[in-house]
Structures are given as structure tokens and as C-alpha cells.
Amino acid sequence: MKSTKFEKYNFKPFIHKAIQELGFTEPTEIQERLIPIIQKGESAIGQSQTGTGKTHAYILPIIENIKPNLNEVQAVITAPTRELANQIYHAVLKIVEHAEEGEKYTARLFIGGTDKVRTIEKLKTQPQIVIGTPGRINDLVKEQALHVHKAEFLVVDEADLMLDMGFIHDVDQFAGKMPEKLQMLVFSATIPEKLKPFLKKYMDNPKYVQVDPKKATAENIKHVLMPTRHRNKVSLVHSALKAFNPYLAIVFTNTKKKADEVADGLIAQGVKVGRIHGDLSPRERKRMMKQVNDLEYQYIVATDLAARGIDIEGVSHVINYELPTDLDFYIHRVGRTARAGYSGIALTIHEPSDEDALNRLEKLGITFHNIDLQNGEIVEIAERHKRQRRQKKENEIDVKAKTMVKKPQKVKPGYKKKMQADIDKIKKRAKRVEKRKK
């Protein structure tokens, strides 16, 4: 096993193996500063944004401290959105899957939109690491299905967003049931005044670590978005590759299975494709890297193994077939292009469900250009927010029209039809006014 700069933390061997598999070679600034504090058992506040490596700054030392085979809740990790909770959950799974034989590490994800009754049934055995949204975790604690009273760690991720969304109250409710000697780790891009009473209540002289945001990605990368619009994704990637005609393009997927599916789909359309993922043996990977460096391939399909730890020269285009579950990896993926002073293009094929992730990437200062394909050519299209604003405006007109049309005191047959006709008239008039304003 190759050595990495993470070895100074003396993690368990399986954690070092996972770190190497993830392609991490040295800690980021927030990891460098926070991991030793967490290892000393101290509470901490980390002020940082996505892209700084904060998730692994806390999950690595927490997993190090989990007692395997002890079936009780030992750590609770909360996030304000289902998407972020899901990302953290998968980041934890990618570490614990490397655990030694005979050692059992369990993590469970608890978020809204899932069957609560079934979740409670499955909690006969308590997980060691709980990850989820505050509302669902609090519900399960109140139902006495989830037992957090012995947990040693509590993580509150994106605390300022939690405050904005009204979730701090939920965290406060179940945090009050946790041990007095709780090691609490709070992460937030900002520390609003209204958050301070909550921090003071649970944290006694916490260590404070601030990592100023750097430019998330190189300035000479152009970030572009292409909507799927119910089209076949593999065919869309194939058409985009043909239109871009890259010097060398890497198409990123989240799993080995998906990488094979995309590579096979492109090959079926007559494209020569290389592939790089964890199922390749060291010999196959070495041969593939030689072929790539010898420019035998114009297109490579890869998992995030290639985003970290593997250096490929001359990448002109990066295509995200799907956004990574951990948004830090978006930064690592697109960092494969625009190197040594060259420019590069990072294309993301996006679906409506990616909206939350795209908004968070934009908060990092990434500006997306919106494109699509027309007759095999790349064309600029209206930005995606414009359409959302238009839909919102139309919804507002709907609501206004409905409030203006009152139900008659004496109803006669066909009154609903007449009301709807009046509503439609008002809506048409309002839309005409809107058009004139433009």
C-alpha cells in the first residue's frame, strides 16, 4: 500500500486503505487543522464551504472512534437537506466497506419521504452511525425507536442553512437527550448571531477553525449545463462528444456499474472508449493508462478514482454523466482539465433532481452556461432559473385569479364551470399585462 500524508493521524489500517482507494494523498487545509482537534476529543466549529473537504475532516476521525460490533448509536450526523444527508451517508459507506473481516460497522440514513413505519421496524437493531435530516431523526427519537442517549458525537453540518430552514429546533430537541460530555462538531459557511445561543448551550470552549474559500475551480474552465429533457442519456453524451470533438474527454459516472453501462453504450454506437474504475486489476489499469497516455483513446469513461490520484495529461473536456454524490468530487473531476495554462470545458448533463446540488455549486462561485444540441450542433439556451421564475410567476397569477373569483352565495347548476371561465379570463388578462411589461 502506498503511503499518504494521512498516515500521521494513525488511523486504523482499513481507513488508510479507504483513503488510498479514494485517491486522497494529502489532507486539505480544514482536514489538516480539524482532524487532530477531533482526535483529542474536543468540540469544534469549522467555518468553511463545500469543496474544502470538510465531510472527510469529521467522518474519518469519527469512524476511527466507532466501536465495531457494538450495536448502539455512537455518532449522529445531521444535514439540512436530503441530498446532503445522502452524500454524507455514501461517503461513510465508502470508508466502512473496507473494514477488516469480523468487524461490523453500521450506518443508516434517515430522511423524509421514506416509510417511517418500516424504518421503525428496522430499528430493532440500532445503527452505530446515524445520518439524516433533523426532522426525521427527531421524529424517530420521540417515537423512542432511535436511541441517541449514549452517542458520543453530534455533527451539525451547514448549520446556517439549518437555522434558515427552521431545523435548529429539531436538533436542539434530540441533542438535549444526548450525553452531557458530547463531542459536538458544527460546520457552517457563516456564523449568524441567531445561531450563537444554540452553540453556547451545547459547546463549552469549542475550538474554532476558519478556512477562507479559495477559487473553487480554475478560471479557464468553462462550466456548461445540458438538460436531459427525457432523452436517452448515453445517446446525449455520444452526440455531445461528436459536437465537441475533444482532444481527450473523460466521462464521469458515480459507480463502476454505470461506467460499464455508459462505456458499452458508447461502444455500441461505434465509439472507441477506454474505461478506468476500481474493478480493473493493477495490470489492466497500468495497460489502460499507457494506452491513454499514448493517445489511443479520445474518450474515457471513469469513476471518481480518476478524479483523484490518477493524472491524465491533455484532458480538454470533462463530462459529468451524473453529478457526484459528494460535491467535493465535482471540484476534483473538473480539475482534470484546464491544466498547465490550457483552457477546458466541464459539461454536466442535468436532471430536475440535480437543482439543489447545482445551486450549492453556484454558491461556490461557479458560473454555469446553458447549452443544448440542435441538429448536432451546440447552441446557447436560456438559463434554467429563467424558466423557474416564469413558472413561479404563472403560479402567482393562478393564485391571484382564484382569490378574485368568489363562490356565489346561491349556487346554481354549472356554477363551477362559470367560476373556472372567469378565472381563465383573469389569467389571460394578467399574462397579457406581463407580456406588455416585457
Confidence category of residue 224, pLDDT binned at 50, 70, 90? very high
Cβ contacts of 57 within 8 Å, gap of 6 or more: 28, 30, 31, 34, 35, 38, 46
Kindly report the number of other CB atoms within 10 A of residue 90's CB atom. Answer: 16
pLDDT tens column, 111-131: 887 788 888 888 999 999 999
| Residue 288 amino acid letter | M
3-state secondary structure (DSSP) of residue 94:
helix
Q: Read off the pLDDT of residues 103-116 as tens digits, 9 standing for 90 and up.
A: 999 999 998 877 88
pTM of the predicted protein model: 0.59
Number of Cβ within 10 Å of residue 199's Cβ equals 18
Termini Cα distance of the chain: 63
Name the region of 151 (left: φ>0; alpha: ψ -120 to 50; beta: rest).
Answer: beta
Q: Which helix (H) or strand (E) holds 14?
A: helix 13-21
> Rounded CA gap, 126 and 112, in Å?
19
The per-residue pLDDT for 213 is 60
Would the pLDDT of 277 be above 90?
Answer: no
Q: What are phi and psi of 321, to 5 degrees?
A: -60, -35
Please give the share of the chain, as a percent, with pLDDT higher than 90: 56
Greater model confidence, 403 or 79: 79
The dihedral through the CA atoms of 223, 229, 232, 238 has a sign that is: negative
Query: Looking at residue 397, what is its pLDDT?
Result: 55
Query: Is residue 176 predicted with pLDDT exceeding 80?
Result: yes
Instruction: Measure the CA–CA gap between 54 and 47, rounded to whole angstroms.
Output: 9
Q: Are 126 and 72 in contact (CB under 8 A)?
A: yes
**Residue 392's pLDDT is what?**
47
Share of the chain above pLDDT 70, in %: 88
Provide the pLDDT for residue 394: 47
Listing DSSP states for 160-207 in one string gives HHHHHTT-HHHHHHHHTTS-TT-EEEEEESS--GGGHHHHHHH-SS-E
Amino acid letter, residue 41: G
Distance CA 75, CA 60 (A): 12
Say how far apart CA 328 and CA 50 lie, in whole Å.
6
Please give the Cα distance from 134 to 173 (Å, whole number): 9
pLDDT score of 387 more than 90: no
**Of 281 and 237, which is predicted with more confidence?**
237
What is 18-75 written as a DSSP string?
HHHHTT--S--HHHHHHHHHHHTT--EEEE--TTS-HHHHHHHHHHHH--TT--S--E
Residue 401 has pLDDT above 80, yes or no: no
Q: Average of pLDDT values for 198-220?
A: 83
Torsion of CA 303, 304, 310, 313, to 10 degrees: 80
Overall size of the chain counted in residues: 438
Distance between CA atoms of 65 and 19, rounded to whole angstroms?
16
- pLDDT one-digit tens code per residue, 297-353: 999 999 876 665 566 888 999 999 999 887 878 887 898 888 777 889 999 999 999
Which tens digit of pLDDT belongs to each residue from 135-164?
Answer: 999 999 999 999 999 999 999 998 988 888
* pLDDT of 289: 82
Residue 400: pLDDT above 80? no
Alpha-carbon distance of 93 to 308, in angstroms, equals 18
DSSP assignment of 373-414: EETTEEEE---HHHHHHHHHHHHHHHHHHHHHSPPPSS--TT
